[in-house]
Amino acid sequence: MRFVTYFVLIISFVLLQNCATDPRVVAEQQKAKIAKQALKQTPKWFKKLPKNKKILYAKGTAVSGDMQLSIDKAKIAAKRSLAEKLESTISSKTKQFAKETGIDEMTELYTELEQVTINSVKEASIVGFNEYKSKTVLIGSKYRTFYVLEFPIDKANKILLSQIKNNALVEQSIKASEAYKELEKEIKSSN
């Protein structure tokens, strides 16, 4: 009995030792440590954007080994977020499947869920945004930038009005073109 106990202890020790030195485990521990450090260094103004009826806010964050690239990537992420707020369409499709197997009380239910979401951003004019706040921190050997931009809603409204006018002009020109074609058709048929 003692031999079995020692044997189990030795096997357990060896297995624990292998887990501690497994490069995958060490890499996962390092990732978790970096993620915790990033969360600690996230500014409050980034976590909760201000509320303002006259200004839209958008945020972005990015990581890079090069500080300037980190800033550029974060700014682009914030612009993309703003563009989504101004000119975005979203479509989603969900499938759910359920299957029950077994007899009477000995059944098991298996469920499967598949969800696909597509977010499309058409061209959106975001000229006139300003940097609200930004912060770059060193986390491990990488730079992480937190970037928030602001965009006055009056500019967004002007852009929307311009898009509506452009769409109306296009629609009118199509209608005019169709009316012209119908007129030509009538003239030819009367000859």
For 62-94, write each residue's pLDDT tens digit: 989 999 999 999 998 898 888 888 776 556 677
Q: What's the pLDDT band for 30 if we cut at 50, 70, 90?
A: confident
**Pair (23, 51) in one structural domain:** no
Q: How deeply is 97 buried, as exposed, middle or buried, from its count of CB atoms within 10 A (0-12, 13-18, 19+)?
A: exposed
Q: What local confidence, expressed as pLDDT, does residue 81 receive?
A: 87
Bridge partners (DSSP) of residue 110 are 99
pLDDT tens, residue by residue, 117-153? 676 666 666 777 889 999 999 988 889 999 999 988 7
Counting runs of H as helices and runs of E as strands, what totals does the chain give? Answer: 5, 5
Kindly state the tokens that stand for 143: 């730079």
Domain edge (last residue) among 11, 26, 41 = 41
Which has more confidence, 28 or 1? Answer: 28
End-to-end CA distance of the chain: 112
Q: What is the CA radius of gyration of the chain?
A: 30
Distance between CA atoms of residues 146 and 70, nearest Å: 9
Q: What local confidence, expressed as pLDDT, does residue 191 receive?
A: 55
Query: Which helix (H) or strand (E) segment is 7 a member of?
Result: helix 2-21
User: Is pLDDT at 36 greater than 80 in this prediction?
Assistant: yes
Kindly report the average pLDDT of the chain as a whole number.
77
Distance between CA atoms of residues 56 and 150, nearest Å: 6
Which has more confidence, 183 or 151? Answer: 151
Segments forming the whole domain that contains residue 2: 1-41
- The answer to the question of residue 98 being in a domain is no
User: Is pLDDT at 20 greater than 60 in this prediction?
Assistant: no
**Pair (130, 182) in one structural domain:** yes
**Pair (36, 55) in one structural domain:** no
- The answer to the question of residue 168 being in a domain is yes
* Contact in structure between 96 and 113 (CB atoms under 8 Å): yes
- The answer to the question of residue 103 being in a domain is no
Q: What's the pLDDT band for 106 if we cut at 50, 70, 90?
A: confident
Distance between CA atoms of residues 56 and 81, nearest Å: 11
What is the mean pLDDT of the segment spanning 93-115? 75
**Pair (33, 53) in one structural domain:** no
Which has more confidence, 83 or 48? Answer: 48
- The answer to the question of residue 24 being in a domain is yes
Q: What local confidence, expressed as pLDDT, does residue 72 receive?
A: 93
- The answer to the question of residue 157 being in a domain is yes
Domain tally, the chain = 2
- The answer to the question of residue 94 being in a domain is no
Distances (CA, A) of 164 to 73, 93, 123, 151: 31, 29, 14, 20
**Pair (76, 33) in one structural domain:** no
